[in-house]
Amino acid sequence: MRSWPHVGIVGGSLGGLTAALVLRDLGCEVDVFERSSEALKARGAGIATHPSTTRYFEESSELDASLVEIELPWLQFLDAGGELVYQERMNYRFSSWTTVYRGLMGAFGEERYHLDSEVVDFAQDHRGVTVRLGNGASRTVDMLVCADGIASASRPRLLPGAHERYAGYVAWRAMIPESDLEPASFEVLKDGLTYCVLPDGHVLVYPIPGLEGELEPGRRLANLVCYHNYADGGEIDDLMTDRSGERQALSLPPGAVRGEHVDRFLAFADEHMPPQIAEVLHKTTGPFVQVIYDIEVANMAFGRVALMGDAAFAVRPHAGAGTAKACEDAWKLRDALRDAGGDPVAALARWEPGQLDLGRNLLERTREMGDRSQYRHTWVPGDPSLRLGLYGPGR
């Protein structure tokens, strides 16, 4: 009889949880080590979903994908005056980080999901991987999957030369209940993924499920993302210095962005954004900021240790596919382990080439999309190469 490995997962967000579920379903014993001391909360706001993001919901008998996604019929562009300048039918789907997390977490359960379990070190030999946790405990597993995100500490441990590269811009983000929108703005925004091309950037708005997973129009949230340039050095340092005077590397949560930056950004929005979209920013209780980085690695398999999701490749968000890529890494790992008969080292060697290709291609495509938007000013409403998609525009 085959024996499936005992797998440890570093990081229990969407990538790590998907890996935990599919490997457990294969027959593996799985433990998830999550640094956070409490259940993870609404981070990352809205996400475009692709088949791999919600595949677990489609295939599991306990979950229902129709309860996590909103399907929007229109892709549309407005001009700065709020007039519709482009519209086409599409079938993009959207959800929120929280809604997907809640579903996956419900399926995995809490028993083997270890909160307050930061992985501070690991070492492998021919028998297994020994993981050391921040609380002093250590655990030995047969295979370790590092899904510890963009700020992964596993990545420099495995690949000391891999560094993130600042893309030169950030995402300003905001969410408000759709019910707070003026009726005329709600009418324009409720059925579409709505873009506007801006000087040196673009903004997009789309509905996502409400905080309790509500999917009905009017009970959902309007989710806004705006890409805005801040020069490396003084400008980005100043933006990312929060209200308490600390320079944050990756993000500023709601309430942490300094008032002068919020005011300046709102003035920019009033001057350049359609009024229906600027309204979302004016009505939010606190916009938040995520810095856009490119991260690329030369390897994802290291003997019995895998690096996946944003820990391996962090891509610019313009294809809406970062979570989908993390989930795809997880599904492909399941396939490789099954095909290798449960041998972790053989499985990871099989898995790595395809996932390196996926990460490289997505990074290259999203870098091009971002550079065209932020620096070359060649975004044109309706350009087919600007579509969302994991494997290519619209795919």
Ligand X SMILES: Cc1cc2nc3c(=O)[nH]c(=O)nc-3n(C[C@H](O)[C@H](O)[C@H](O)COP(=O)(O)OP(=O)(O)OC[C@H]3O[C@@H](n4cnc5c(N)ncnc54)[C@H](O)[C@@H]3O)c2cc1C
Binding positions for ligand X, rule: CB under 6 A: 10-16, 33-36, 40, 44, 47-48, 53, 118-119, 147-150, 153, 171, 225, 290, 309-311, 317, 320-324, 326
The CB-of-16 to ligand X minimum distance in angstroms stands at 5
The CB-of-184 to ligand X minimum distance in angstroms stands at 26
**190 vs 325 by CB, closer to ligand X:** 325
The CB-of-353 to ligand X minimum distance in angstroms stands at 20
**CB neighbour class for 365 (10 Å; exposed up to 12, middle 13-18, buried from 19):** buried
Of 150, 151, 154, 149, residue with least CA distance to 119: 154
**13 vs 185 by CB, closer to ligand X:** 13
Of 289, 383, 337, 372, residue with least CA distance to 5: 337
Query: By the 8 A CB rule, do 5 and 336 touch?
Result: no
**CB neighbour class for 171 (10 Å; exposed up to 12, middle 13-18, buried from 19):** buried
290-306 as b/e, with b when 16 or more CB fall inside 10 Å? bbbbbbbbeebbbbbbb
**188 vs 291 by CB, closer to ligand X:** 291
The amino acid that residue 75 corresponds to is L
**278 vs 321 by CB, closer to ligand X:** 321
The CB-of-388 to ligand X minimum distance in angstroms stands at 7
**44 vs 370 by CB, closer to ligand X:** 44
The CB-of-197 to ligand X minimum distance in angstroms stands at 18
**72 vs 343 by CB, closer to ligand X:** 72
Q: How many residues does the chain have?
A: 395
Query: By the 8 A CB rule, do 302 and 143 touch?
Result: no
The CB-of-101 to ligand X minimum distance in angstroms stands at 9
Of 75, 102, 107, residue with least CA distance to 91: 75
Helices and strands (H, E) in the chain, number of each type: 10, 18
